[in-house]
Structure 1
Amino acid sequence: MQDSIAVVPFETGGGWGYSVNIGARPYIYQDIIPALPGRNVFKTKADALRVGNLVAKKLRDKQLPTISKEELVEMGIVK
């Protein structure tokens, strides 16, 4: 499973999101910033990729692929 995990950024209305694919199939589709109330999109493609890559790393490490607000703050995604 770990070799076939890929993060694919995509544009949303007014921002960015990401998909984590396992093989050719989408496994996680994230069109808003996780762990925040409301429907906030990532401001940049780079931000979406950074969070998506963390989710992919957690999957490879056999951890739950959840993201906390603290992780978003540490990554500079939110204040």
Structure 2
Amino acid sequence: MIIANSSRLRKKTRMIDLKEKYKMEKTQKVILSMGIALCLTVGILLFLHMTRHAPYEDGLRLEVKGSYNTGWQYVIYHHKKVLIYQKSIPVVAGSGAFVTKEDAQNIGNLVLAKIRKNELPVIQKTDLERFNVQIPEKDSVFLRAKAQL
């Protein structure tokens, strides 16, 4: 019986020694948890910043504006400054604005891609045909409505 009690006593003293060895004071625990929270916060903010600004690392972006009544145009910005404001369909004289938003988006993306490749942002008639851009006729209701505005 004495042997059993002494082994239990040794186990208890070992447990107490381990607790004492790894015992942290309350202020140390608070400082450690604040440090971990700060590191996590900084990491999350860096991640959000990088993912939000990744598509615009060169500062270029495209915005399509307009409506179904007045037509569509695109604007290319470079760091919040207007680089290109395209009100009418390029190559076609007197055509007015793009008929659909998709047409303006496609041609705007093409111009943006050319700028990023350091090419001249010139649109050819073949580019319009490739994207099936709708060109309003001279006597269309769309152009007459726009002329009245």
Structures share fold, TM-score greater than 0.5:
yes
Q: Is the 8 A contact 2:77 2:84 kept in 1?
A: yes
1:22 has 2:78 as partner: yes
1:46 has 2:112 as partner: no
- Give 1:48's aligned amino acid: A
- Give 2:66's aligned amino acid: E
- Give 1:73's aligned amino acid: E
Instruction: For structure 2, list consecutive stretches of 5 or more residues without a partner in the other structure.
Output: 1-55, 136-149
- Which fold has the larger relative contact order, with Cα–Cα distance below 8 Å and residues 6 or more apart in sequence? 1
Q: Which of 44, 49, 65 matches 1:10? A: 65
Deviation (angstroms), 1:40 = 2.4
1:61 has 2:140 as partner: no
CA distance in 1, matches of 2:134, 2:109: 17
CA distance in 2, matches of 1:54, 1:25: 19
CA distance in 2, matches of 1:34, 1:3: 25
Question: Alignment length, in residue pairs?
Answer: 79
Structure whose residues are more often helix by fraction = 2
Identity %: 33
The alignment yields a C-alpha RMSD, in angstroms, of: 2.0
Q: Is the 8 A contact 1:2 1:60 kept in 2?
A: no
More deviation, 32-41/21-30: 32-41
* TM-score, normalised relative to structure 2: 0.49
Q: Is the 8 A contact 1:32 1:39 kept in 2?
A: yes
1:36 has 2:36 as partner: no
Deviation (angstroms), 1:39 = 3.3
Equivalent position of 2:50 in the other structure = none
Structure whose residues are more often strand by fraction = 1
Runs of 4+ in structure 1 off by over 4 angstroms are: none
